[in-house]
Amino acid sequence: MITRRQSLAAAAALAAVLAAGPAGAQEKMKVVATFSILADLVKNVGGDRVEVAALVGPNGDAHAYSPTPADAKTLAAAKVVFANGLGFEGWIERLIKASATRAARVVASTGIKQRKMEDEDHPGRIQTDPHAWQSVANAKLYVANIRDALIKADPAGKSAYEANARAYTAKLNTLEREVRAAVAKIPADRRKIITSHDAFGYFQAAYGIAFVAPQGVSTESEPSAADVAKIITQIRREKILAVFLENITDSRLLKRIAEESGAKIGGTLYSDALTDAKGGAPTYLDMMRHNVRQLATALTT
């Protein structure tokens, strides 16, 4: 039989444990990044002093994300919120309001040279292309912004953040050299692919591989003969050597298109999200290397 006194004592003990909890754990600054790629950058700059939570995790689509109550809780506990900006996460403003968080808000893409692109859902409408991280030069800017924001929120860690940012920027420099070297090996007249991703505008501007949008097939519905004919004609006309068409889920149809147009079928390109640790792109560095490798294999052989 549990008496009232016993249950009161238990409740008191529980309260004490709860109160002691945070103090007992090693004190890390909690910050939030809106999506996995940004979270990876923040992790690299923050190092041991920072605990990063990504609202949209690996393999998630930040464009079409709808926040959950748990996200509001995560936000409320955070000291800094990192967002990509450029209209990438349309939902973040409302979420910040709803969570009543006092976290500092940082737009990681501040200072980059913006590109315009056509709106996916409304052809003809021009909007800012948010996928700025696809150029490594921009990623270095992201890193600088993240470093400054972290120092502002946690001045005691200034030297650590600066050292981390320096080390990671060095890695980014190596990466950028690798990317340029890989692209340089592809003959200039072969640097053109068809892909349904619309996320490579910055990559194209920085490294000179042309990404052509497929005409016709735009949805996951069953394509019509007209769609298939359009793509084949386009590939032949523009002499495109490789297709990366992930929205055609029917591998047999993809094979048919490739066979008939003479183009090669490329592998997976990662654009908006990292994969989990088992996938091909668990970090930003891995992602960029993976993409370049895929492009180089498809275009040189």
Partner 1 sequence: MMLYSYLIAPFAEFEFMRRALIGMIALSLGAAPIGVFLMLRRMSLMGDAMAHAILPGAAIGFLLSGLSLYAMTAGGLIAGFVVALLAGIVARTTELKEDASLAAFFLVSLAVGVTIISIGGTNIDLLHILFGNVLALDNETLVLIAAITTLSLAILALIYRPLVVECVDPGFLRSVSRAGAPAHIAFLALVVLNLVGGFHALGTLLAVGIMMVPAAVSRFWGRDVTTMILIAIACGMFSGYAGLLLSFHSAAPAGPAIILVAGALYVGSVLFGRVGGLVRQLVPRRHLEA
Instruction: Please report, in angstroms and rounded to a whole number, the separation of the first and last CA atoms in the chain.
Output: 78
Q: How far is CA 9 from CA 6, 13, 14, 23, in A?
A: 5, 6, 9, 22
- Residue 61 lies near partner 1 (rule: CB under 8 A): no
Q: How far is the CB of 200 from partner 1 (least distance, A)?
A: 26
Q: Buried b vs exposed e over 12-44: b needs ≥16 C-beta within 10 Å?
A: eeeeeeeeeeeeeeeeebbbbbbbbbbbbbbbb
Which amino acid type is present at position 9? A
Residue (18 or 226) nearer to partner 1, CB: 226
- Residue 3 lies near partner 1 (rule: CB under 8 A): no
Q: How far is the CB of 231 from partner 1 (least distance, A)?
A: 11
Residue (39 or 258) nearer to partner 1, CB: 258
Burial class (CB in 10 A: 0-12, 13-18, 19+), 246: middle
**Diameter of the chain measured on Cα atoms:** 84
- Residue 58 lies near partner 1 (rule: CB under 8 A): no
Residue (159 or 221) nearer to partner 1, CB: 221
Residue (59 or 169) nearer to partner 1, CB: 59
Residue (116 or 252) nearer to partner 1, CB: 252
248-267 residues in contact with partner 1 (CB under 8 A) are 249-253, 255-257, 259-260
Angle value at C-alpha 197, between 196 and 202, nearest 5 degrees: 135
* Binding track over 198-227 against partner 1, x by CB under 8 A: -----------------------xxxxxxx
The count of chain residues that interact with partner 1, using the rule CB under 8 A, is 20
Give the C-alpha separation, 271 to 120, whole Å. 15
- Residue 229 lies near partner 1 (rule: CB under 8 A): yes
Task: Give me 232's structure tokens.
Answer: 């084949």
Which residues are near partner 1 by CB under 8 A? 221-229, 232, 249-253, 255-257, 259-260
